[in-house]
Amino acid sequence: MIEPADRDRAARTGPDWVRDAVFYQIFPDRFAISLRVPKPGTLERWDAPPTVHGFKGGDLLGVAEHLDELRDLGITALYLNPIFASASNHRYHTYDYELVDPLLGGDAALRELLDSAHARGIRVILDGVFNHASRGFWPFHHILENGTASPYRDWFNLDAEVLAGRRGLNAYPSAPATVAAPDEPNEATAAAGSLAAATSPGASSSAAPSSPAAYAAPPSPRSRLGYEAWWDMPALPKLNHHNPEVREYIYRVAERWLRFGIDGWRLDVPADITEPGFWEEFRRRCLAVNPQAYIVGEIWTAAPEWLAGDRFDALMNYPLAEAILSFTGAGRLDRDLVATTHEFSRHVHDVDGPEFGRWLAAVMATYPPETTSLQLNLLDSHDTPRFLSLAGGDTTTLRLATLIQMTLPGAPCVYYGDEVGLEGRGDPDCRRAYPWDVVRQDRRLRDFVAGLTALRHANPALRRGRFELLAAEGSAVAYGLFGEESPGGAGLTLGGRAFDLAPSGESRPTEGVRRRDRSMIVVVNAGDSPATLSFELPGQARGSVEQVSWTGRDWTSTFASRPLERGTLVVDIEAREGVVLGVDPAL
């Protein structure tokens, strides 16, 4: 039985496990195929360029069969794009919220994946698409078959002429669609527009951007289709959240899968659901089932009002991704590609160390520290071009970005394949199949990423430390994560073992001893010339400093261990490199 005190504590502070997590986002159709999941017919070739409608056959047992590799990468949580029954490869067109898609292996495959993941200390959150459904969603299909005689007619926002019985639904219009493709491809555009409408006085979500992959026209009145559809896309009828039966159905779906064993929800375009109290009740019902459930919303901008403790634990931290890309990719950005992504086109631009320092400090100060430590810190996703492509194919940019991502408060999230150098432009190219042939993988990059996740797991300050900007000059920046007294070992327990990290970067089991967590200093030079930064460590006049490396780090910048003199450090760093330092206070 869940105690009320546990539920109340979780509602205030969020799920504590997230602060130690490293997420891995998987687009299920594109990650891995299991021979144990039969396919009904011909699939798109795995290594062929992805198409809008093509199915490649990835499934949940394929994910389960690769969990050990993900654990070796340092992954402790999975974020799965939608898995419920759908007629689209991305499954944002849901037709049954209570059935895992048979192409993914059905409910039994999710059961095996959850059991196998949890046995390895890996959590799993699902993508919840509760703003809109699909034409195949059984209540909508019921209306298509029965018209206004259907008892589900109030589950959607039907046109007055339809409700009066003077016309039917035009769910399959013969006129050309008003979008680039019959998909949810530029969800970034709609999410940003929806949030603007929800949070900015006088703003309108109908102001579509001028972007090749974006919507070609603003939504038209529902009279064309006979019902309200998300961004006027006929395939996506919008649910009527004003109807209490609809709300109760969604709440029960959320509860059902939490009871099944999932560990939380990533919520699709939540700002489009404007019914007062909807998300507050959603949170209450979820936490009543699992007080440690993670609830994260897809909102692309800073939005403190959504994280006041009554709706979500966190947001997808796109503002951080924009800052990191702007700094590490300065001078190397594929500007044409950046321009195709709505929010990125407005915010991503070349910045130097001081501008990045101000930007980073602002992002870190947007929310209280206990909320910042729950943010989902991604570099890219299924809704954006791949980071490596945005960076003009420059692997060093991705390395620098990953170093920053892995050394900040908030849960880092790796988009599947980024760790082996997978590229991709706009949708559907950003949803390529995972390259399982090792010849097509950048194994040095994977070692580098795995080393950084081990570094993060081994040093609590990188996960829970107090962020402070220390210096920013030219093309370089330095920031600190300052630890505090805490019980237990220095590292993280994974699968029943505690891990620490030797200065050489080698992971090693540790005993649970009490000590003050060392503070960590991160120095990054994104420029093409060597740099030197001099700065003071606040409140630490004495102690010792050593470089902390990680497996896969093949940069040449070094820092000799030394006593800390009067709290001042001088760090020399080569071009396009980064160093991490551990600072231990004097005993």
Residue 107 in domain: no
Of 12-16, 308-312, 383-387, 482-486, the range with the lowest mean pLDDT is 482-486
Residue 404 in domain: no
**Which of 340, 334, 355, 440 is closest to 397 using CA atoms?**
334
Residue 16 is inside which H or E element, if any? none
Share of the chain above pLDDT 90, in %: 81
Please say if the pLDDT value at position 215 is more than 50.
no
| Residue 291: predicted pLDDT | 98
* Cα–Cα distance, 138 to 386 (Å, whole number): 35
| pLDDT interval class at 12 (50, 70, 90) | low
**Which of 325, 320, 316 is closest to 359 using CA atoms?**
320
For residue 465, the 8-state DSSP code is P
Which has the higher per-residue pLDDT, 217 or 297? Answer: 297
* Cα–Cα distance, 214 to 211 (Å, whole number): 5
Task: Choose the final residue of a domain: 188, 209, 232.
Answer: 232
* Cα–Cα distance, 57 to 32 (Å, whole number): 8
Mean pLDDT over all residues of the chain? 88
**Full 3-state SS string of 241-259:** CCCHHHHHHHHHHHHHHHH
Q: Is 137 exposed, middle or buried (0-12, 13-18, 19+ CB in 10 A)?
A: buried
Which has the higher per-residue pLDDT, 497 or 22? Answer: 22
| Residue 540: predicted pLDDT | 80
Please say whether the beta carbons of 555 and 538 come within 8 A: no
Residue 510 in domain: yes
Tokens of 169: 């639904």
Please say if the pLDDT value at position 189 is more than 60.
no
Task: Choose the final residue of a domain: 232, 252, 269.
Answer: 232
| Domain span holding position 539 | 464-585
Please say if the pLDDT value at position 195 is more than 60.
no
Residue 97 neighbours by CB under 8 Å, 6+ apart: 84, 133, 249, 253
Of 110-119, 162-171, 311-320, 427-436, the range with the lowest mean pLDDT is 162-171
Which residues lie across from 59 on neighbouring strands?
Answer: none
Please say if the pLDDT value at position 217 is more than 70.
no
| Residue 196: predicted pLDDT | 39
Residue 51 in domain: no
Which residues lie across from 547 on neighbouring strands?
Answer: 581
Please say whether the beta carbons of 102 and 201 come within 8 A: no
* Cα–Cα distance, 294 to 314 (Å, whole number): 8
Residue 515 is inside which H or E element, if any? strand 515-516
Active site residues: 268, 298
Please say whether the beta carbons of 404 and 14 come within 8 A: no
| pLDDT interval class at 174 (50, 70, 90) | confident
| Residue 492: predicted pLDDT | 45
**Which of 543, 500, 506 is closest to 521 using CA atoms?**
543
Please say whether the beta carbons of 51 and 44 come within 8 A: yes
Residue 99 in domain: no
| pLDDT interval class at 326 (50, 70, 90) | very high
Strand order in the sheet with 497-501: 492-494, 497-501, 507-509
**Which of 116, 126, 190, 104 is closest to 427 using CA atoms?**
190
Q: How many residues does the chain have?
A: 587
| pLDDT interval class at 549 (50, 70, 90) | very high
Please say whether the beta carbons of 520 and 484 come within 8 A: no
Helix (H, G, I), strand (E, B) or coil at 357: helix
Please say if the pLDDT value at position 145 is more than 80.
yes
| pLDDT interval class at 199 (50, 70, 90) | very low
Residue 59 in domain: no
pTM of this structure: 0.89
Please say if the pLDDT value at position 403 is more than 70.
yes
Residue 480 in domain: yes
Please say whether the beta carbons of 169 and 223 come within 8 A: no
Distance of CA 329 to the CA centre of its chain: 20
How many domains does the chain divide into? 2
The interaxial angle of helices 395-405 and 443-458, nearest 10 deg, is: 10
Please say if the pLDDT value at position 113 is more than 70.
yes
Share of the chain above pLDDT 70, in %: 84
One-letter amino acid at 480 equals: G
The interaxial angle of helices 395-405 and 318-328, nearest 10 deg, is: 140
CATH at 514: 2.60.40.1180
Residue 121 in domain: no
Of 151-165, 461-475, 488-502, the range with the lowest mean pLDDT is 488-502
Task: Choose the final residue of a domain: 189, 205, 232.
Answer: 232
